[in-house]
Amino acid sequence: MTQPPRVLVVEDDESVRRAVTDGLAATGFGVEAAASAEEALDGLAAAAVDLIVLDIGLPGMSGLDLCRRLRADDDGVPILILSARDAVADRVEGLQVGADDYLVKPFDLSELVARLQALHRRAQPAASAAAVLADGAGGGDREILALRGLRIDIGRRTATIGHQPLDLTRREFDLLATLAHNRDLVLSRYTLLEKVWGYDFDVETNVVDVFVGYLRKKLAATGHTDIIRTVRGVGFVIDSSIAADTPSP
């Protein structure tokens, strides 16, 4: 029998922590709770979890610092930040330190559940980048994706451009690979949320734009600035004709 996903809820406000843990347990998740980052680290050392719901404003080590530490330790468990901070800059910072999603308080339990289910599906071995990309436009599953100057090894999860390695996070890699696999096809934000983040529901978030921005900065640092193109009002595309004009080594 398949075990339900185990979620660690890290929240210092007791009433919020109880509401989230009770709500998630009622919808079928296995739930652990921690009131601080230090308590969360102790819990993670004792037993693995499938997902983390993380508040930012924790006593002692902040939620952002906990997220940084987990990512520095190469812990790939999906992290959803749950915070009252709703400014774009706060959301961007949460994503930059390695969180997979960001939900603003107050929130609807059904949306939290849907986002956690999407993150869990995305984290499963069957939903690897190669499997996800296989349903893209044309060509089927391929181990190597190549545009002139850009080479993506799906199996090894590495990307280089002009023989320069790109230091990409897991989500940045999946986004770049999805766009490259669907070269010349404009992908909407909704499509990218579905393919890269696993969302199959309508969600208001600028996460796609934020991660496209990260990719563009890393590509620009290698001297390649025009590979990912925005089609206003539609979405994003890797235009092979533009990519072909980028200098080769």
pLDDT over 70 at 108, yes or no: yes
Q: What is the pLDDT of residues 226-244, one digit of tens each?
A: 889 999 889 999 887 654 4
Average the pLDDT over 124-138 and give the result. 43
Average pLDDT of the chain is: 83
The CA distance from 79 to 100, in Å, is: 5
pLDDT number for residue 201? 57
- Lowest average pLDDT, out of 100-109, 129-138, 170-179, goes to 129-138
Average the pLDDT over 85-98 and give the result. 83
pLDDT number for residue 28? 94
Q: Return the HEC string of the chain.
A: CCCCCEEEEECCCHHHHHHHHHHHHHCCCEEEEECCHHHHHHHHHHCCCCEEEECCCCCCCCHHHHHHHHHHCCCCCCEEEEECCCCHHHHHHHHHCCCCEEEECCCCHHHHHHHHHHHHHHHCHHHCHHHHHCCCCCCCCCCEEEECCEEEECCCCEEEECCEECCCCHHHHHHHHHHHHCCCCCEEHHHHHHHHHCCCCCCCCCHHHHHHHHHHHHHHCCCCCCCEEEECCCEEEECHHHHCCCCCC
Could you tell me the pLDDT band of residue 200, with boundaries at 50, 70 and 90? low
Tokens of 87: 């400014």
Alpha carbon 226 to its chain's center:
23
Instruction: Residue 18: name the closest of 9, 27, 6 by CA.
Output: 9
Instruction: Residue 114: name the closest of 1, 15, 209, 29 by CA.
Output: 29
Residue predicted with more confidence, 77 or 249: 77
pTM exceeding the 0.85 threshold for the entire prediction: no
pLDDT over 90 at 149, yes or no: no
Could you tell me the pLDDT band of residue 196, with boundaries at 50, 70 and 90? confident
Sheet holding 79-83, edge to edge: 30-34, 6-10, 51-54, 79-83, 101-104
